[in-house]
């Protein structure tokens, strides 16, 4: 979520603002009398919100807790070992009214396990938003597997240790024992009876069991949407030196509220002035793309710009030039709804850069004029695909949702799954994507009837299997084991599949068998009916694909890659046809853009744009309070031609026992 969504995300109890001041040159401020005059005015000379402020509170917050997983198969769990984690768990259970805690933690049937739960609160998160969880067992735990367990509710809190604090003060890495725990703010609470998915959700390579039949990743689990944020986490715009007073804060807040109130979000204040900073909340239109909002909001002029002014005319001219259109569109969007006329002119441009820039800005301003342009951009230009899909997800309007529905039938996996995500974000109950929740564990969606068949599985944000096209079937003969309890088999030319589950009860095998049609969705429903979860469902489609017994191709995390606006601006200057950008996005693009790394200020001149192939800056270290997961390694260099479907960025954790992807707020494509 972190937050980072994104793709594509109240005040904190303690808001830490910079203690020093940044010494910057005095800003050139246009007098009110100059606005709309006939004097030649350079748009970059206008004082804007960005020229007066510095963005803050843009990094993810890592939270953790100690919890109990229960209802495991007999023997899979273990007694909670004595120590600090057990003490914390006992305290948590007492707060929730438990009295027989020792009996539960030392259950002789070993159906429970103490676990460590971690999540990421993205910047801009709102109260009630859901979070993905990573669940691990302590290193000294004797728990064998978390598969099939349910997570008992717990609180997720910021923690730090005395040793970490001391090391930070000395500028060295923590070493030795962790020291005394320091409790911070409680940011989230897990939901009741959250199912833990353990074992086969990460990559196809992990789908095959080890020699002894036990997968090491079963001691690590994930829970999609397993917690809810307990408090809002807004952004801050900290006033620069010389402007850090309540009067300037009030002026900045007034300009932001006036601009985004007019853009269709009247029910909530976007900005609230404080003595030396402005608290900034993301408007509804930008809920799936916080990065876009931060870019636009920082271009809002400090003085309203009159219609017909030289400023507007110059931006309108720059919009029609591929080399400057992306920056000009953001600045026109920052002027509000009065920019609709020049943006509509841009839709008729022969340049794909200009058409896209105009259509994207129009959509965020609440107009559907550019929906058709955005849909064509999704199909034709991979470099702009993620940005166009996020724009189409802004409005629950037929002009946008109809285009997304059409894109579900596109044969490109990234186009159709990207359209599925965007349509779900625009309208989760849209009939084109409505799915079924099976065993309270995972969703199955059948979409785009009549299109080429494809099965998609996701490894983050949502436990779901999406079946595209007409009925996808399993062809016999085969027998596929799933985990240690399930078996799916289809005889040669058989019209039915048989799903079996063998569970040992008091040492004796209890066998259950159910037959069903060979349609994949029917088999998945039968597995769930016998108690299977998302782990078994994913293992089924992966094994069926490896055995070539499924009548459709399998795709995983087919998420469109994207470039930052700064990178795109440089491509637009050098590549007016988009040919190079469409190729390079697979090599240098990312599945999501971290706010701290991508930056939230536009280049003042196209020549100052970030080089197209420049790596995104590594974000600030946010690991001082990391207690429950491994240290995040640096990302390996990406080889030429590497598959772009599931990239690993410098800020993404190792797949085994790290915080879930999705630390970026409002991210639609990629976490």
Least confident residue range of 152-166, 336-350, 457-471: 152-166
Per-residue confidence (pLDDT) for residue 42, from 0 to 100:
60
User: Is pLDDT at 472 greater than 70 in this prediction?
Assistant: yes
φ, ψ of residue 56 to 5 degrees: the values are -145, 170
Burial of 186 (0-12, 13-18, 19+ CB in 10 A): middle
Q: Are 419 and 407 in contact (CB under 8 A)?
A: yes
Kindly report the average pLDDT of the chain as a whole number: 80
Count other Cβ atoms within 10 Å, centred on residue 86: 17
Least confident residue range of 122-126, 344-348, 438-442: 438-442
What is the C-alpha to C-alpha distance for residues 464 and 504, in angstroms, rounded to an integer? Answer: 29
Least confident residue range of 195-199, 249-253, 528-532, 541-545: 195-199
pLDDT average, residue stretch 488-510 = 88
User: Is pLDDT at 420 greater than 80 in this prediction?
Assistant: yes
565-574 vs 579-588: helix crossing angle, rounded to 10: 150
Q: How far is CA 338 from the centre of its chain?
A: 32
Count each helix (H run) and each strand (E run) in the chain, helices first: 19, 22
Alpha-carbon Rg for the chain, nearest whole angstrom, is 26
Least confident residue range of 37-51, 167-181, 577-591: 167-181
Per-residue confidence (pLDDT) for residue 533, from 0 to 100:
86
The residues, ordered by sequence, that sit 6+ positions from 648 with a Cβ below 8 Å of its Cβ are 635, 636
What is the C-alpha to C-alpha distance for residues 458 and 201, in angstroms, rounded to an integer? Answer: 8
pLDDT average, residue stretch 648-652 = 32
**Among candidate residues 302, 301, 264, 296, the one with its CA nearest the CA of residue 280:** 296
Stated as kind and residue range, the H or E segment containing 129 is none
Q: Are 115 and 135 in contact (CB under 8 A)?
A: yes
> Before 7, cis peptide (omega within 30)?
yes
User: Cα separations (Å) of 58 from 306, 330, 596?
Assistant: 33, 20, 6
pLDDT band at 266 (very low <50, low <70, confident <90, very high): low
Per-residue confidence (pLDDT) for residue 120, from 0 to 100:
93
Provide the residue count of the chain. Answer: 671
φ, ψ of residue 405 to 5 degrees: the values are -60, -40
Least confident residue range of 154-158, 299-303, 665-669: 665-669
User: Is pLDDT at 18 greater than 60 in this prediction?
Assistant: no
Longest dimension (CA), the chain: 91
Torsion of CA 86, 90, 96, 101, to 10 degrees: 110
What is the C-alpha to C-alpha distance for residues 340 and 345, in angstroms, rounded to an integer? Answer: 9
pLDDT average, residue stretch 396-417 = 95
User: Is pLDDT at 262 greater than 50 in this prediction?
Assistant: yes
pTM of the model: 0.79
More confident: 460 or 421: 421
């Amino acid at each position: 979520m972190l937050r980072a969504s994104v793709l594509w995300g109240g005040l904190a109890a303690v808001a830490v603002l910079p203690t020093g001041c940044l010494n910057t040159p005095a800003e050139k401020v246009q007098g009110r009398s100059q606005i709309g005059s006939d004097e030649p005015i350079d748009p970059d000379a206008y004082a804007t919100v960005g020229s007066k402020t510095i963005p803050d509170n843009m990094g993810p917050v890592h939270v953790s807790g100690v919890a109990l997983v229960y209802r495991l198969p007999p023997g899979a769990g273990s007694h909670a070992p004595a120590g600090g984690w057990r003490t914390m768990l006992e305290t948590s259970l007492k707060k929730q009214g438990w009295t027989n805690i020792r009996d539960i933690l030392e259950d002789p049937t070993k159906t429970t396990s103490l676990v460590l739960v971690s999540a990421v609160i993205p910047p801009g998160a709102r109260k009630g938003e859901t979070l993905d969880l990573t669940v691990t067992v302590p290193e000294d735990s004797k728990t064998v597997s978390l598969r099939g367990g349910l997570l008992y509710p717990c609180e997720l809190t910021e923690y730090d240790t005395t040793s970490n604090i001391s090391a930070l003060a000395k500028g060295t890495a923590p070493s030795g024992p962790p020291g005394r725990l320091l409790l911070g703010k409680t940011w989230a609470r897990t939901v009741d009876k959250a199912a833990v998915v353990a074992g086969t959700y990460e990559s196809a390579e992990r789908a095959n069991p080890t020699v002894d039949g036990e997968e090491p990743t079963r001691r690590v689990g994930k829970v999609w949407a397993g917690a809810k944020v307990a408090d809002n986490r807004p952004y801050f715009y900290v006033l620069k030196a010389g402007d850090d007073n309540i009067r300037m804060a009030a002026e900045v807040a007034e300009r932001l509220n006036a601009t985004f109130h007019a853009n269709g979000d009247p029910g909530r204040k976007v900005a609230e002035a404080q003595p030396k900073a402005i608290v900034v909340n993301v408007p509804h239109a930008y809920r799936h793309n916080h990065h876009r909002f931060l870019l636009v909001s920082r271009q809002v002029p400090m003085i309203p710009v009159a219609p017909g002014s030289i400023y507007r005319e110059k931006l309108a001219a720059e919009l029609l030039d591929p080399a400057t259109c992306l920056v000009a569109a953001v600045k026109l969007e920052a002027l509000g709804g009065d920019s609709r006329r020049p943006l509509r002119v841009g839709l008729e441009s022969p340049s794909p850069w200009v058409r896209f820039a105009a259509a994207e800005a129009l959509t965020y301003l609440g107009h559907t004029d550019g929906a058709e342009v955005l849909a064509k951009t999704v199909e034709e230009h991979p470099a702009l695909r993620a940005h166009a899909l996020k724009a189409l997800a802004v409005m629950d309007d037929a002009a946008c949702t109809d285009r997304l529905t059409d894109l579900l039938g596109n044969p490109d996996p990234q186009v159709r799954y990207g359209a599925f995500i965007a349509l779900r974000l625009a309208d989760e109950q849209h009939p084109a994507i409505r799915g079924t929740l099976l065993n309270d564990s995972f969703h199955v969606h059948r979409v785009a009837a009549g299109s080429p068949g494809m099965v998609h599985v996701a490894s983050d944000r949502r436990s779901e299997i999406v079946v595209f096209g007409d009925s996808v079937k399993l062809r016999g003969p085969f027998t596929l084991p799933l985990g240690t309890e399930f078996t799916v088999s289809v005889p040669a030319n058989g019209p039915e599949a048989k799903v079996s589950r063998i569970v040992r009860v008091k040492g004796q095998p209890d066998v259950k068998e159910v037959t069903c049609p060979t349609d994949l969705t029917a088999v998945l429903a039968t597995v769930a009916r016998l108690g299977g979860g998302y782990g078994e469902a994913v293992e089924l489609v992966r094994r069926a694909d490896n055995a070539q017994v499924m009548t459709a191709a399998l795709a995983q995390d087919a998420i469109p890659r994207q470039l930052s606006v700064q990178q795109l601006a440089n491509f637009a200057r050098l590549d007016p046809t988009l040919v190079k950008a469409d190729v390079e996005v697979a090599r240098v693009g990312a599945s999501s853009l971290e706010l701290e790394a991508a930056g939230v200020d536009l280049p003042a001149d196209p020549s100052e744009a970030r080089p197209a192939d420049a790596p995104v800056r590594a974000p600030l270290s946010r690991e001082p309070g990391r207690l429950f997961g491994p240290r995040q390694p640096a990302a390996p260099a990406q080889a030429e031609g590497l598959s772009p479907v599931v990239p690993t960025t410098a800020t993404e954790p190792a797949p085994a026992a790290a915080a879930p992807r999705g630390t970026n707020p409002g991210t639609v494509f990629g976490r």
